[in-house]
Amino acid sequence: MPIISIKLADMPLMLKHILFFILLPLLFATNAFAFEKADSLKQKLNLTLYRVDSLQKKLEFSSDSSKGKIYTNIALQYLKADTNRDKKIHDHYLESALNNTMKALHFYSKYNDSTGLRLCFDQLAFIYHKQQKFAQAKWFILQSNTLSRERNDVLQIISSLLVLADIKSDIGDYNLAKRDLNEALTLSGKNCLPAQTSLAQLQLAGLYTKLNEPLKSALAFDRHLKIDDSLNKARLKLLAIQMHKEALLAAAKKKVFLTSNRTQIASGSSKNTGSLAYLSFSSF
């Protein structure tokens, strides 16, 4: 059967007009969406620059002990705004976040603020990972891991192990990545941290996919889904209990309010009746 192809030039004038009026609204809608998206990004950029400018002004009047937090906040503003597809803007934001985090690190180090230092190590690992500078990313997340172990902060140890495994997986150190994930699973299991177990299982599923072991990947992903399902059920149960408590509290408040109103009305009625009786009696 011959293929029928119709060129726009061969169409009748009336059909061209019909197609024009059908496609015109779609064209306007597409352009409107593009303009709206561009405007939204512009507003976000302006808001970020305003916040950064405000924080930088705050630095002039702040003591050295509080400058670490301000520089960290400035870096976070750049990271939050890093949604632009323009490579130059993307690179500029990452570099700005990096520079401000380094400044924050200097002040946290000066005052021996271990919480601030760990936060900076995590942030620097994240930035360098995004820049695909894996050696630097690995070094900083190892510092975070070491600091968390010194403080016996299990949640942060697990968090740093997950990041470390992700970096090692990206550079092809799959066996070392698996070792970090297994340690994260052991720690989360011992300390009853199902959310962290779920994250580790999800990451393990991705690692097994890279290792071309689909069965192990599917099993790890299934464990992740089951844990998440259990967590969601627990959250819904807690929400239902909370809503029930709030409903009971609202009902109790309403009862007190209605009882109070009835008492006031009854009290007011007796006074009025009494005064009328007194007046009618005194009139004789």
Mean pLDDT of 251-279: 63
Count of domains forming the chain: 2
Residue 281 maps to a domain: no
Greater model confidence, 40 or 242: 242
Residue 72's domain comprises 63-152
Largest distance between two CA atoms of the chain:
118
Residue 283 maps to a domain: no
Residue 279 maps to a domain: no
Q: To the nearest whole number, what is the mean pLDDT of the chain? A: 80
Residue 104 to residues 127, 158, 280: CA-CA distances in angstroms? 14, 24, 85
Q: How many Cβ atoms sit within 10 Å of the Cβ of residue 126?
A: 18
- DSSP assignment of 61-95 equals TS-HHHHHHHHHHHHHHHHHTTT---HHHHHHHHH
Residue that the structure tokens 């906040």 belong to? 73
CATH of the domain at 161: 1.25.40.10
pLDDT at 167: 97
Q: Of 96, 116, 115, 119, whose CA–CA distance to 107 is shortest?
A: 116
Say whether pLDDT at 99 is over 60. yes
According to DSSP, residue 1 is labeled -
pLDDT at 11: 52
Judge if 148 and 189 occupy the same domain.
no
Residue at a domain's end among 104, 126, 152: 152
According to DSSP, residue 112 is labeled T
pLDDT at 125: 96
- Per-residue pLDDT of 48-58, as tens digits, reads 666 787 887 88
**198: amino acid identity, one letter:** S
Instruction: Report which secondary-structure segment, H or E, holds 257.
Output: helix 214-282
What span, in angstroms and rounded, lies between the C-alpha atoms of 96 and 87?
14
Which residues have C-beta within 8 Å of that of residue 91, sequence separation ≥ 6? none
